[in-house]
Structure 1
C-alpha cells in the first residue's frame, strides 16, 4: 500500500476509534442517574460561629493576656489594655508559642492615634507567616511609599491589588496561607502561596511567595518546617485585637 494510502488508512482508523469511544461515552452519560455523581462521606465537620470566631479556631489573642505568645527575650511584654494589644517599642517582636503550617489567620490592627512620620516611618509593623514571610502593616491613609511596602503587600515582593482605607482606623486582615514544601535534602519542591483580604477586599490572590522577607537584597529559599506567627516591633504604637487561626 502506498504511503499516502497508509496515512489515510491510519487517520480513518483513528477517527473511527475516536468516534466509537465518543459515542460510548455519550451513551454512558445518557444512561447516568443523578445519584451516580453523589457521595455522602466523609462528612465535613460542622462549625459554629461565636462573635465572629469559628468553633475550631485557636484564639491567639482574646484581649486578656499574652499567654499564647513569647518574645525574643522570653516573656512577651507588650501592652494589653481594654481588650487591645499594643506594640511596646524597644521590647522586640513577639511570636506564638505554637508553630503552624497551613492556616487561615484573622488579625485586626490599628495605626497609632497620633499621626507622625511618613512612608515606612508611620504606623509600621508586620505579620510574619511561619516567622519568614511578612504581610505589611502600615498607616496607608494619605501616606505614599514604595508600592511593594504598603499595607497589604507581601513585603518587598508583591504590592496589594488595591489600597484599602479604614475610616475608623481599624483594619482587618484575613489571610489564607499555604506553606512552601521542601524535600528531605532541603530543596524547594513547591512555593508557598498567600491570599489576603483587607477589610473584605482581596489584595493578594493566591500570590506565590518567592522566599524569605529581606529588607535588603532578594528573597532567600530557606528549608523549614512549621513556624510561628510573629508580630513586628518597628517602633510604632500599632494596636492589634481579635487574633485567631484555623489550621488547614
Structure 2
C-alpha cells in the first residue's frame, strides 16, 4: 500500500508539472521574433537580457505562437531607471499603425509610482488597471531583486500576482488571443542608455488550467464588460442603470416620459445626438427614474471633437422649472483642448472630471498634472463615489477630485460660484443621476450603480 501511495503521489506531481511548458530554452532566442524597436536582446546565464538604447522606439521580443487562455509564470529583474512590461494577447498587424505592437501589457515599474503588475493597453487605450485601483499591490515588487510574476488570462478575465501578492484583476472583452512579448521601453536620456531588464524561468500552461491557477486572494476587480455585470459585481449589489436596449429606468429630466427625439439607443450605446431646432436643444437632459443616496456609479463615455456633456448627481426635480434640465453637482465631460469652456471658470474647474465650476480635476493618484484622459473618439471610464457626504471623481481608475459636500469649504465654494443663488445645492439626501444634453454628440454605455 505504501508503494501504491507513493506512485499516486508521483503521478499527481507529474500531472501538475506536465501542465507547464517552457517558452525559452535557456540558450538562444528560438521561437521569438523582435518587433518595432532595435534595443538589444541577448541570452546570458539562461536569462533573456534586454538592453535599453537611446533613439529607438519600444522594442518587443515576441513569441511566434499566439495564445488565448493560459497561465504564465516568469521571473523578472530590472534596473531602476528603466521600466518595462510583459505583453500578453498582443498583436502586430501592418494595417494598424504600421505594425505597432498593441495589446495588454503587465507592467514592470521600479519607479516611485510602483505600478508593477498593473495592466496597460499598449498602443490602444492606455491604462486599464493602474495600481491606484489596488494600493496594496504596490508593495509586491522588490527593486533590484528577482520577482516572480504569475499571470492568468482566462476568458475575459486577466489576473496578476507578483511574489504571491495579488496586483490586478481585470475583466475586458477586447482581445481573446495574441502573442506574448517582452518589452524594452524606449528611453530619452543618455543616462538611461544600457540599462537592463532580465527574464528567466519562463513557463506557460494552456491546458487543465484549474490545476495551476491561484485559488487564494485576488485583487479588487475592474470590469470593462459592455452593459454586463460580472458574477462578483452581482454578489456585491451592483445593478445596471441602463439595460443596453431601451429607455427603461430613464426619463426626461424634471419631467415625465423619455424624449421622443435627441437620444438614440443602438448597438449597446446610449447617445445624446446634440440636435437643435431654432437654437434650442431637441432632446434635453435625461435622468434615472429612481433616486439614490450613498452610491458608487460607473459608466463609460466617448465624446467627439469639441464635445461637451456631464453627469450630475443628487438632482432634485422642481415642478416650478421646465423639463429637460436639472440642477446638481456635475462631473464635467469636455474636449478640454477644443471646447471654449475648457478655458473658462477658475483654474480649469470646467475641464473633464472636474466638479464643474467648483473644483479643478487633478491626477491625485499619481500626484501629477498628467490626467491620462483619452481624447475624442475613445472611451473613458467614469466613476463617482458618494458616501456620507464624501464624494470622489475618478476617470480611468485615477482619482481626480474629492470633497465633502456637507463641509464649510464646500459651502464657501458654492457662494463664490454660478450656484450662489442655490444655497442648498448638492445637499439633497437623495437625488437622480442625470446625463446632460449640452447640444453635442456624446456616447454612454455600461452604466451601473451600487448603493452603499
Is the structural similarity TM-score above 0.5? yes
* Number of positions where the alignment pairs a residue of Structure 1 with one of Structure 2: 181
Query: In the alignment, is residue 220 of structure 1 matched against residue 429 of structure 2?
Result: no
Bigger relative contact order, structure 1 or 2 (CA pairs below 8 A, ≥6 apart): 1
Report the CA distance shift for 1:151/1:239 in structure 2 as closer, same or farther (over 3 A): same
Mapped contact 2:373–2:395 kept (Cα < 8 A): no
Matches of residues 117-156 of structure 1 in structure 2 within 5 Å? 122-131=306-315, 132-141=328-337, 144-146=342-344, 147-156=348-357
Q: Could you say what secondary structure the match of 1:149 adopts?
A: coil
Distance 1:49 1:156 in 2: 29
Mapped contact 1:130–1:227 kept (Cα < 8 A): yes
**TM, length-normalised to structure 2:** 0.37
C-alpha displacement of 1:82? 1.2
Distance 2:272 2:435 in 1: 9
- Counterpart residue number, 1:84: 269
Q: Could you say what secondary structure the match of 2:292 adopts?
A: coil
Of 218, 228, 236, 2:440 maps to 236
Of 241, 245, 254, 1:64 maps to 245
- Counterpart residue number, 1:74: 256
**TM, length-normalised to structure 1:** 0.65
- Counterpart residue number, 1:197: 394
C-alpha displacement of 1:164? 2.9
Of 143, 153, 159, 2:360 maps to 159
C-alpha displacement of 1:64? 0.9
Distance 1:214 1:244 in 2: 33
C-alpha displacement of 1:193? 2.4
Please, which runs of 5 or more residues in structure 1 have no aligned partner? 1-47, 116-121, 180-191
Structure showing the higher helix proportion among its residues: 1
Q: What is the root-mean-square deviation in Å for CA atoms of aligned residues?
A: 2.7
C-alpha displacement of 1:171? 0.9
Of 85, 98, 115, 2:290 maps to 98
Please, which runs of 5 or more residues in structure 2 have no aligned partner? 1-220, 275-280, 316-327, 364-370
C-alpha displacement of 1:229? 0.2
Runs of 4+ in 1 over 6 A off after TM superposition: 212-215
Mapped contact 1:152–1:198 kept (Cα < 8 A): yes
Shifted more, 192-201 versus 151-160: the winner is: 192-201
Mapped contact 1:134–1:213 kept (Cα < 8 A): no
Report the CA distance shift for 1:71/1:217 in structure 2 as closer, same or farther (over 3 A): closer
Mapped contact 1:140–1:151 kept (Cα < 8 A): yes
